Structure 1
Amino acid sequence: MYAFIRGAARPVTRDEAAASVGISRKLAAFHLDKLVDAGLLRSRYEAVGGIRKVGRTPKVYEPAGVDFAVTIPPRRHGVLADILLDAVVTETEGETARDSALRVAAQRGEAIGAAERDELRPGRLGAERGLTLTETVLARQGFEPRRETPTCVRLRNCPFHPLAGQAPDLVCGINQAFLGGIVTGLEVPGVDAVLVDAPVGGCCVELRGTQAGG
């Protein structure tokens, strides 16, 4: 129904949406309103064809004008593209393309970490609590963190896969700089983002606490 409404280039009634996929009007209404709740459609009451008829004005639906994508496991290719684009635009004289990308990645990560810290307001942190906070933030970023030991967090998902497989030195370096920036922005003491060998689909970086407890 969503595809039908996008292709209609005009507001669509519940009856039209139901007919497009061969379901009842009642079932169509349920799913259409769910799409509205999700922000993919917007709805209003409007006379079809601009002609007011006797009876209740029908509810019509049209695209909300937002982009929507689902990937399982989570992928964040847009983040990587933004970093590379910004690196090209801001590259300074004497700076290599790689160095520019690493700089931008670290800055982008630090901004995210600082914003998360302002929101979470964690107070003073020791290394172990710092790892816990970092796990929470990286889960939001799609890395699927898992605590392996009290001082080690492995990241089960690479949001930049499969692009990391095409240029591992570059993408993994960007990823390490990005995650290191998040740690810096969070002001987490004694935690490092370290490059490691990772299984296919896993992240090439893990987080290690330099001290236990705290």
Structure 2
Amino acid sequence: MTSESAIGAVAALEDELRRGMYWFIRAAGRPVTRDEAAEEVGISRKLAAFHLDKLVDAGLLQARYEQVGGIRRVGRAPKVYEPSDTEVRVNIPERRHEVLADILIGAVLTESADETARAAAQRVAAERGAGIGAAMRERLRPGRLGAERALTLLHTMLAEHGFEPARATPDCIRLRNCPFHPLAAHAPELVCGLNHAYLVGVLTGLQADTVTAELAPKAGECCVQLRPATSDTARSTTA
């Protein structure tokens, strides 16, 4: 769920009646009919239907038509509601701790005998980033990327992933937000190294060899910036 969708879902729960029906349905452990939801909060079936469908539109509930209690009746089956599998989280600024968790789990599961735990984590971070970059390249098919075109594509992609990129100068993207904060504050060398490896991987997958990812820590911002690569700068796969 995107940040915009998550905010919409939270806004849908601002209404007291919707909150009451939503928590009732979550606690029920089974599909709930409109009549049951209406009775729970003390409103008409018609008004309950309106609010329930708003919760469906927000991605919080899913609905279908089903006979209740296994009893087949004449006529159309009633509409029933149950919680969706969508997880709703709103972080401002955006955080992506699940990405970091995925990297660390991947490192634990694939660490080889000849690499350290840190090296395994950096390898997995680069692989995850490369997957993101490759997916973008497959979707857009941009061909050979010059530095300007690559920075423009990266600006869009990194915004979607919560980095809050800004063109500090025409040839430099600063990442204003660290999606891994506050964990980066607890172990900056480790987390910033993984973040750098992840973004190097993005460049690799995107085949943007005209751009380099540099470690450039700045208070209150991400530790990485992106610049055009020069003849004497080379991207590495480790921090």
* TM tier relative to shorter chain: 0.7 to 0.9
Deviation readout 1:24-71 (Å, 9 max, x if unpaired): 544442342233344442212334444566876432101233444332
CA distance in 1: counterparts of 2:114 and 2:64, whole angstroms: 56
For 2:99, the equivalent position in structure 1 comes to: 79
For 2:227, the equivalent position in structure 1 comes to: 208
Deviation readout 1:147-170 (Å, 9 max, x if unpaired): 111111111221111111111110
Query: What's the Cα RMSD here?
Result: 2.3
Matched, 1:116 2:136: yes
CA distance in 2: counterparts of 1:99 and 1:75, whole angstroms: 24
Matched, 1:170 2:190: yes
For 1:106, the equivalent position in structure 2 comes to: 126
Name structure 2 gaps, 5 residues minimum: 1-20, 231-239
Change (3 A) 1:20 1:77: farther
CA distance in 2: counterparts of 1:192 and 1:21, whole angstroms: 57
CA distance in 2: counterparts of 1:189 and 1:169, whole angstroms: 25
> What is the percent sequence identity of the aligned residues?
67
User: How many residues were matched structurally?
Assistant: 210
Deviation readout 1:66-122 (Å, 9 max, x if unpaired): 444332322111111111111111111231111111111011101110111100111
Change (3 A) 1:58 1:175: same
The answer on whether the counterparts of 2:145 and 2:210 sit within 8 Å (CA) in structure 1 is: no
Change (3 A) 1:172 1:16: same
SS of 2:113's partner is coil
Matched, 1:46 2:70: no
For 2:50, the equivalent position in structure 1 comes to: 30
Q: Tell me by how many angstroms 1:184 deviates.
A: 1.1
TM-score w.r.t. structure 2 length? 0.78
Change (3 A) 1:51 1:91: closer
For 2:110, the equivalent position in structure 1 comes to: 90
Change (3 A) 1:8 1:195: same
For 2:236, the equivalent position in structure 1 comes to: none
